[in-house]
Amino acid sequence: MRHAMSVDVEDWFQVGAFEKVIDKADWASLTPRVERNTDAVLALFADSGVKATFFTLGWVAARYPAVIRRIVEQGHELASHGWDHARVFTMTPDEFRSDVARAGCALEDAGGVAVTGYRAPSFSIDARTPWAHDVLAEAGYAYSSSIAPLRHDHYGWPEAPRYAFRPRADAALIEVPVTVAELGRRRMATGGGFFRLFPAAVTDYAVRQVDRAGQPAVFYFHPWEIDPGQPRVNHAPMRSRLRHYSRLGAMSGKLRGLIARHDWGRMDAIVARLGSVPVGMGA
């Protein structure tokens, strides 16, 4: 089965781990690395023959339209990651509606293509935001990949379905949660920092597990994760620094191995092949 490869395009200073120590007002004065890192990801995919989905901040698209065009020109899907990495549960429905619209306009202007996929920053659609899928459906999105169906100190919706579902019975929008591994009664995240920190066998196990269930896996990572030379935020909490900087130098090699061991493609293509999707989450 073909699985979904996805990249959350944000710069090193825009991550959730640093949101309380780096002010958004200072972003424009910091050394940008998102364009060079995204180009490195594009080169890695070109070498591997993989097409992927790039969930990109509108803030990035507005400032670096050339790299957005390169994503599209090289056959990848351009999708939305919101405007400036604000977590959905920190916004009102109207604020979220404006954020989605602003990001979508920036992405479509830069890429010259329609954007039909969305991923919430830090997987921040959860039990606190029952209205978020309504907003996405109203905006015309075909799918979202915004839920992590597990318990985590920064995010997660452990009661959410593990596989694709329709959040609203009266809308065509499909939610495709990020893949987790089930170990007994415990669910473990498998992408991003978890992929860097844990043996690659954990992610391989999760991919094989969902494959046996007849479902596509959804893997994600960030361009900054293949950049061991990025600036250090020494005043961030130790826990945040450990999560952000650990094993950056190993990431490229681990990614190449993961790509070689499984069949990967764009999320929009995977969603189009899902067939009948159950209605879930009390919709």
Give the contacts of 48 (CB within 8 A, at least 6 positions apart). Answer: 256, 259, 260
How high is the pLDDT of residue 282?
45
pLDDT tens digit sequence for 235-258 = 999 999 999 999 999 999 999 999
How high is the pLDDT of residue 185?
81
Q: How confident is the model at residue 281 (pLDDT cuts 50, 70, 90)?
A: low
102 φ, ψ to 5°? -65, -45
Q: Which residue has the tokens 């893949």?
A: 179
> pLDDT over 90 for what percent of the chain?
93
Q: How confident is the model at residue 58 (pLDDT cuts 50, 70, 90)?
A: very high
Q: Are 122 and 78 in contact (CB under 8 A)?
A: no
For residues 177 and 165, give the distance between their C-alpha atoms in angstroms, rounded to a whole number: 9
Mean pLDDT of 133-162: 92
> pLDDT over 70 for what percent of the chain?
99
- The model's pTM: 0.97
What are the residue ranges of helices labelled H in 49-164?
58-63, 65-73, 93-111, 132-138
For residues 197 and 228, give the distance between their C-alpha atoms in angstroms, rounded to a whole number: 14
pLDDT tens digit sequence for 21-48 = 999 999 999 999 999 999 999 999 999 9
Q: How confident is the model at residue 283 (pLDDT cuts 50, 70, 90)?
A: very low
Nearest residue to 111 via CA among 55, 60, 73: 73
How high is the pLDDT of residue 22?
98
Q: Are 155 and 177 in contact (CB under 8 A)?
A: no
For 211-223, the DSSP string reads HHTT---EEEE-G
Here the tokens at position 183 are: 């170990």
SS3 content of the chain, % helix, strand, coil (to 5): 45, 15, 45
Amino acid code (one letter) for 35: E
Where b means 16+ CB within 10 Å and e means fewer, 174-191 reads bbbbbbbbbeeeebbbbb
Give the chain's radius of gyration (CA, Å).
17
pLDDT tens digit sequence for 106-121 = 999 999 999 999 999 9
Residue 228 gets which letter from DSSP? T
Residue 124: how many CA atoms within 13 Å on its side-chain side? 15
